[in-house]
Amino acid sequence: MTDALPPILLIGSGKMGGAMLAGWHERGISRCVVIDPAGEVGTTDGIERVLSTADVPAGFRPAAVVLAVKPQVATDAIPHVAPIFGDAVVLSIMAGKTVSAIDAMVGGKNAVVRAMPNTPAAVRQGITVACAGPGVSPSQRDLCHALLEAIGAVEWVDDEALIDPVTAVSGGGPAYVFLLVELMEKAAIEQGIPQPLARRLARVTVSGSGALLSASEQDAADLRIAVTSPGGTTQRALAVLMEEWPGSVSRGIEAATARSRELGS
């Protein structure tokens, strides 16, 4: 898609909704109405911010409606807005909420796409996995792809059940990486490195390693082995870390997957 994005209705403009909105603005959008009861009111560069459904301009007909509210409030919030959706495709980025649950919220009259982006979307380096529900047309899927591609890479799956472990792996994944940086910085300080240097060492090491991983065709395991000299310092550290990490990461992903399914019930 090379032309400006068609009219979009965005419900919720928190961190992820706001990141998507910024990506669309950079990509080029003809018009976007944002409903956010806690937001600001006003119009800038084709983006109109309102507080409620009643404030949506008369005659506004979105091509897509993006649901970016918290799943815990969706059941109460979405049905009140659904009457203005028209025949727009509904793109949901709510954790846990299934296509069938979203379909019930919007009254069963709109095609639904369920997606899970992650927070690197804020710098257009996210990755989103999406699943198209019944009745989504090729053009609607293309539109949703364009909306998601404005914030990073996009992958599609046919099995909706995969969205729950995707939520656990990539949706929550940035937090796991940030925890690693946090712990590396703390450990560096414990070894006598000044805090400003410890912070920089941890951050640049992780971001640089990510860039190397992204640029390489090798498996992560092969890159790890290449850094690990036999009998060296890295091997000594990994001998300690490997006692806990493999099991802990697996249990963490399992717990997050279970929670995603709970949110959908």
Q: Are residues 87 and 196 in the same domain?
A: no
- Alpha-carbon distance of 27 to 2, in angstroms, equals 9
Question: What's the CATH number where 202 sits?
Answer: 1.10.3730.10
In a domain, 1, yes or no: no
66 backbone dihedrals φ, ψ, rounded to 5°: -105, 120
- Alpha-carbon distance of 84 to 54, in angstroms, equals 10
In a domain, 2, yes or no: no
In a domain, 23, yes or no: yes
- The confidence score (pLDDT) of residue 1 equals 44
Global pTM exceeds 0.75: yes
Q: How many domains is the chain built from?
A: 2
Q: Are residues 56 and 154 in the same domain?
A: yes
Each residue's pLDDT expressed in tens, for the chain with a length of 265 residues? 457 899 999 999 889 999 999 999 999 999 999 998 877 888 888 899 999 888 999 889 999 999 999 888 888 888 888 889 999 999 999 988 999 999 999 999 999 999 999 999 999 999 999 999 999 999 999 999 999 999 999 999 999 999 999 999 999 999 999 999 999 999 999 999 999 999 999 999 999 999 999 999 999 999 999 999 999 999 999 999 999 999 999 999 999 999 998 887 6
Last residue of a domain, one of 140, 163, 186: 163
Contact residues for 111 (Cβ-Cβ < 8 A; gap 6+): 89, 90, 132, 133, 134, 135, 136, 137, 140
Q: Are residues 198 and 226 in the same domain?
A: yes
Last residue of a domain, one of 136, 163, 190: 163
Query: Residue 104: exposed, middle, or buried by beta-carbon count in 10 A (0-12, 13-18, 19+)?
Result: middle
In a domain, 122, yes or no: yes
In a domain, 168, yes or no: no
Q: Are residues 28 and 156 in the same domain?
A: yes
Count CB neighbours of 15 within 10 A. Answer: 11
Q: Are residues 227 and 157 in the same domain?
A: no
Q: Are residues 152 and 31 in the same domain?
A: yes
- Residue ranges making up the domain that contains 179: 173-263
Q: Are residues 155 and 178 in the same domain?
A: no
